[in-house]
């Protein structure tokens, strides 16, 4: 046994107790649970539950509230959801992600000198998805009217005491905000003063947004008066947003500021109900959205990690950290090359990527004694009985699928050296949004990771609606990812990734986190914390994680150099023992440290023994939950 392996075995892991004292108390409830990114928004969910709504009603109310509070999204963004239907005992997926508008082509963006579509402004906008997502989920699976569900958000739009985080974000982004006249009028009420954004606690009023929400409710109520049923009435509100006067003003305001979205783009778009992806991990069925998100990354990593005895390694031991890091890097390398919109050709090889055999194959490639800086995409095609059509493209980039050589990344795709913890890079890596978790005693469970239209946002005309910035997640170069090249009507591959798990045919856990490319890193470790190490849901949400930077960033930057992987760079918690640090350094890692190593994780665990819910909401943000 070599000296390094002896060192690894002797190194102690970070101690923990599954029921150790947490910084925030766990939530308990037997009737319902509502958790989201802002205390006032969680209160909105509780208001709906108290009026007799189900988990879908409450989740829609929380989503509407968080959009209105700009946490960190708005009404022009996108919604991704998983819903457990107790009537069918199945998990369904909601795809309410906007699409690239007319004129959004590779040639268009390249003619403007872009390497990726821009981060901010009207040209960054996909079509709005969240209004349609709310209407669809509510009409199909809720019980209440749109008027009832939007009431808390409308009250917030009429004026609410703004929190410091949001107000300060407006102040920091005011240089960009001033470029967009409708945004300037909303976000900078003290124009010309030293502080132009609202102060913390100031009553923040959004008259235009309130008018837009009123119009949607008016359309619903008019339809009810005409004898329409509940579902059709809600969809009348949907039509007013996407085809009526709201759409006209949205398009006018967008195009006035240089945007591309047309009336036809809005009218043609619609949310899609899908079959989620899932894998079985030690008897637990784990569900994610399809490959238009990064969700399958966690499923791939679980298939790899299933081949190791993680519990025997010990929580956050050097061996455990190394194995998780390598597994995540392999899954992210596949994400970066193979994931995209399944409704556009070419077809992504998801059957191969999610096969147990492919997971075992990838597990066998992990070098146990050092970081592999050259991990790249594998070849899943043989695992679905096909030949990889991108062999020549991979060779062009310098990739090889010869596992004996273990050389998967071309030199121009990697960044070596010390971790650059500059604010811009870390903002792109961690760029957050919000999450929504809801469950009720009837068995409905909802997990949502909405986003888009974050500050500094460009507001479309007099709608009060901030436009999405999701176009930046497309690529313009097919050699980076042939499945995710921008095209009108196409959805970009996003980072947003709600999660759900069933055990013995019943809900086991619903969980999500904000934080850009770190989302499935954090959620993977949170899941393992509970399943492998027996932590409570609150303990697991606060536990120390690791973050890998050995992946292509999905957000930010205008050049390839801004997004390239940083091999071997790893973020560890400040409490990491010195012995673990030294072991990882000897394995080729470059270390950085923080006292918080995950985004705010929100989760609900189902205690079937006692017939109750346990809620977890991490101490890493403003996230808040209420149970009853």
Backbone angles phi, psi at 498, to 5 degrees: -65, 160
State which H helix or E strand residue 44 sits in. helix 39-50
pLDDT tier at 283, thresholds 50, 70, 90:
very high
What is the rounded average pLDDT of the residues 267-285?
98
Residues 375-430: tens digit of each pLDDT: 989 999 999 999 999 998 888 877 665 433 332 233 323 333 334 446 665 555 55
CATH classification number, 3-21+275-279+296-423+518-627, choose in 3.30.365.10, 3.90.1300.10, 1.10.246.130, 1.10.10.10: 1.10.246.130
**Per-residue model confidence (pLDDT) at position 397:** 76
- From residue 242, how far is each of 34, 270, 439, 461, 562 by CA, in Å? 29, 9, 30, 15, 35
Work out the mean pLDDT of the chain and round it to a whole number: 92
pLDDT tier at 5, thresholds 50, 70, 90:
very low
What is the rounded average pLDDT of the residues 609-626?
92
151: its two tokens: 């009431």
Residues 85-131: tens digit of each pLDDT: 999 999 999 999 999 999 999 999 999 999 999 999 999 999 999 99
Residues 42-76: tens digit of each pLDDT: 999 999 999 999 999 999 999 999 999 998 899 99
Task: Quickly list DSSP for 228-274.
Answer: --HHHHHHHHHHHHHHSHHHHHHHHHHHHTT----HHHHHH---EEE
Please confirm whether the linkage preceding 456 is cis (ω < 30° from 0): yes
pLDDT above 90: percentage of residues in the chain: 85
Determine which of 241-255, 304-318, 592-606 has the lowest per-residue pLDDT on average: 592-606
Backbone angles phi, psi at 354, to 5 degrees: -100, 10
Which residue intervals of the chain bear CATH 1.10.246.130?
3-21+275-279+296-423+518-627
| Distance, CA of 345 to CA of 525 (rounded, Å) | 33
pLDDT tier at 559, thresholds 50, 70, 90:
confident
- From residue 475, how far is each of 116, 289, 441, 555 by CA, in Å? 6, 21, 44, 11
For residue 377, what is the DSSP state? -
In sequence order, the 6+-apart residues with CB closer than 8 A to the CB of 91 are: 82, 83, 84, 85, 276, 278, 287, 500, 502
């Amino acid at each position: 046994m070599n000296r390094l392996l002896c060192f690894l075995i002797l190194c102690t892991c970070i101690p923990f107790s599954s029921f150790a004292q947490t910084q925030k108390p766990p939530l308990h409830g037997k009737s319902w649970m509502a958790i989201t990114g802002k205390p006032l928004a969680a209160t909105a969910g509780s208001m709906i539950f108290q009026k007799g709504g189900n988990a879908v009603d409450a989740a829609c109310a929380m989503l509407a509230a968080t959009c209105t509070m700009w946490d960190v999204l708005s009404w022009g963004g996108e919604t991704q959801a998983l819903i457990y239907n107790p009537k069918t005992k199945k998990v369904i997926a909601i795809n309410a992600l906007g699409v690239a508008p007319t004129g959004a082509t590779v040639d268009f963006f390249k003619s403007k000198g872009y390497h990726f579509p821009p981060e901010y402004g009207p040209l960054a906008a996909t079509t709005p998805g969240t209004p349609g997502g709310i209407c669809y989920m509510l009409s199909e699976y809720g019980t209440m009217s749109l008027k009832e569900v939007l009431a808390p958000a409308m009250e917030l739009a009429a004026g609410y005491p703004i929190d410091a985080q949001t107000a300060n974000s407006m102040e920091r982004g005011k240089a960009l905000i001033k470029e967009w006249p409708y945004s300037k009028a909303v976000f900078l009420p003290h124009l010309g003063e030293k502080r132009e954004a609202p102060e913390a606690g100031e009553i923040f009023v959004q008259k235009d947004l309130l008018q837009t929400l009123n119009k949607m409710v008016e359309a619903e109520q008019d339809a009810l008066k005409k004898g329409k049923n509940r579902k059709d009435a809600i969809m009348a509100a949907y039509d007013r947003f996407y085809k009526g006067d709201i759409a006209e003003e949205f398009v006018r305001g967008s195009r006035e500021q240089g945007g591309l979205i047309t009336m036809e783009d809005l009218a043609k778009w619609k949310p899609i109900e899908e079959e989620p992806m899932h894998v079985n991990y030690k008897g637990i069925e784990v569900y994610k959205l399809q490959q238009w998100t990064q969700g399958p990354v966690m499923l791939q990593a679980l298939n790899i990690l299933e081949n190791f005895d993680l519990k025997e390694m010990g929580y956050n031991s050097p061996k455990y950290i190394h194995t998780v890091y390598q597994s995540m890097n392999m899954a992210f390398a596949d994400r970066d090359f193979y994931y995209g919109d399944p409704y556009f050709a070419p077809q992504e090889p998801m059957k191969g990527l999610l096969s147990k055999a492919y997971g075992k194959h990838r597990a066998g490639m992990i070098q146990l004694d050092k970081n592999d800086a050259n991990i790249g995409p594998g070849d899943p095609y043989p695992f679905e009985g096909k030949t990889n059509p991108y062999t020549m493209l991979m060779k062009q980039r310098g990739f090889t699928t010869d596992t004996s050589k273990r050389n998967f990344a071309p030199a121009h795709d990697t960044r070596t050296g010390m971790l650059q913890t500059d604010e811009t890079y870390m903002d792109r890596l961690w760029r957050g949004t919000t999450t929504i978790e809801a469950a009720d005693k009837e068995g409905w469970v909802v997990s949502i990771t909405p986003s888009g239209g974050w500050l500094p946002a460009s507001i479309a005309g007099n709608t009060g609606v901030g436009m999405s910035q999701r176009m930046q997640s497309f690529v313009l170069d097919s050699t980076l990812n042939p499945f995710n090249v921008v095209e009108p009507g196409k959805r970009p591959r996003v980072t947003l990734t709600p999660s759900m798990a069933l055990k013995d045919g019943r809900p086991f856990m619903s969980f999500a986190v904000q934080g850009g490319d770190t989302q499935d890193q954090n959620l993977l470790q949170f899941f393992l914390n509970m399943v492998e190490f027996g932590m409570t849901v609150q303990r697991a949400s606060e536990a120390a994680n690791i973050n890998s930077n050995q992946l292509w960033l999905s957000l930010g930057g205008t050049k390839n150099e801004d997004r390239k992987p940083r091999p071997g760079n790893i973020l560890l918690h400040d409490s990491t023992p010195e012995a673990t640090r030294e072991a990882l350094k000897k394995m080729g890692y470059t270390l950085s440290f923080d006292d918080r190593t995950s985004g705010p994780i929100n989760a609900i665990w189902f205690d079937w023994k006692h017939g109750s819910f346990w809620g977890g909401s991490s101490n890493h943000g403003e996230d808040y939950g209420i149970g009853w």
